[in-house]
């Protein structure tokens, strides 16, 4: 039942200054910078509070850990030593790591048994999405440092939990065509999207715990509204998934609602929502579906 998450070093720790040195002065300057500071712990990054909370989830009967976090990095073992020293300094139970020396750590996701991949490298995330992994690009910033209570994970609907089929109709023919399609197919489940299997794994972990005692809480935060909400609810029911909270916002900005939910992380395909949500919570851009295809073009 172990959930395995791969996370890049630039999302776990604040490596912005070191990365800027790499961009401005090249690899050798970056290497020298990291080696000089090998014993100086890195500050927490955007995903640090989430990782800290996930690593604390343990089986209620056996006390075995239920989440494993694997570090993946484009550093090599030499420059990566500062990262491992920082892991030890912060008391994180992370023992597996891949240092790919400039190559894409995405290549190792299958061997690692990864079910979620969080990275600051957009191309790696796209490769992972195309290969069928739940993956998101975390915009790097400093950690808020708030670590308390449940792990609260929020998802957008279309192009994240579900496919982007309905979104394609909306963008091609408008809101009325979208509503007509959802009405006509109200009894047909939506096709799974890139994060459907990850949501199912979270649901399975929740079921280990007695009612009301799960350390995980999930929310659907979608721009859909009535009557298109019905198809979403029936889809989750057919998948056998219980989601704790469902917010149908009818196109309203999601940031304040995520703040009220106290989300530790939010997964969203549209950059407009990513930018506003990231002011309040760690937000992963999911580069999937018609919206992101248009952006790429």
* Helical (H) or strand (E) element with 267: strand 265-268
Q: What is the C-alpha separation between 29 and 141, in angstroms, rounded?
A: 22
Catalytic residue status for 124: no
Q: What is the C-alpha separation between 150 and 274, in angstroms, rounded?
A: 22
Residue 9 near residue 73 (C-beta atoms within 8 A): yes
Peptide bond before 201: cis, by omega within 30 degrees of 0? Answer: no
Q: What is the C-alpha separation between 126 and 111, in angstroms, rounded?
A: 18
DSSP label at residue 185: T
Residue 4 near residue 95 (C-beta atoms within 8 A): no
Residue 18 near residue 30 (C-beta atoms within 8 A): yes
Q: What is the C-alpha separation between 117 and 41, in angstroms, rounded?
A: 24
Active-site residue (options: 24, 93, 107, 156): 156
* Helical (H) or strand (E) element with 102: none
Question: Which residues participate in catalysis according to the annotation?
Answer: 156
């Amino acid at each position: 039942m172990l959930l395995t998450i791969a996370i890049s070093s630039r999302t776990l720790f604040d490596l912005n200054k070191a990365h800027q040195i790499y961009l401005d002065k090249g690899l050798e300057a970056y290497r020298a910078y990291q080696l000089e500071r090998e014993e100086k712990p890195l500050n927490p990054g955007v995903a640090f509070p989430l990782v800290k909370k996930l690593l604390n989830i343990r089986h209620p009967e056996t006390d075995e850990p239920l989440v494993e976090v694997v570090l993946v990095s484009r550093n090599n073992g030499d420059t990566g030593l500062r990262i491992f020293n920082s892991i030890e300094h912060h008391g994180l139970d992370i023992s597996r790591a891949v240092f790919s020396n400039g190559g894409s750590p995405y290549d190792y996701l299958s061997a690692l048994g990864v079910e979620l991949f969080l990275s600051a490298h957009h191309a790696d995330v796209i490769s992972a999405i195309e290969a069928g992994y739940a993956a998101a690009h975390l915009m790097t910033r400093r950690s808020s440092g708030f670590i308390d209570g449940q792990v609260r994970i929020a998802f957008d609907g279309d192009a994240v939990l579900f496919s982007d089929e309905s979104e394609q109709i909306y963008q091609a023919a408008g809101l009325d065509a979208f509503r007509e399609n959802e009405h006509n197919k109200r009894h047909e489940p939506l096709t799974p999207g890139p994060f459907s299997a990850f949501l199912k794994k979270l649901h399975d972990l929740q079921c280990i715990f007695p009612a009301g005692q799960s350390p995980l809480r999930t929310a659907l935060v979608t721009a859909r509204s009535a009557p298109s909400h019905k198809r979403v609810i029936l889809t989750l029911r057919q998948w056998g998934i219980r989601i704790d909270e469902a917010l149908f916002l009818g196109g309203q900005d999601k940031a304040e609602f995520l703040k009220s939910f106290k989300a530790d992380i939010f997964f969203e395909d549209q950059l407009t929502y990513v930018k506003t949500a990231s002011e309040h919570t760690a937000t992963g851009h999911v580069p999937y579906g018609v919206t992101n295809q248009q952006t790429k073009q």
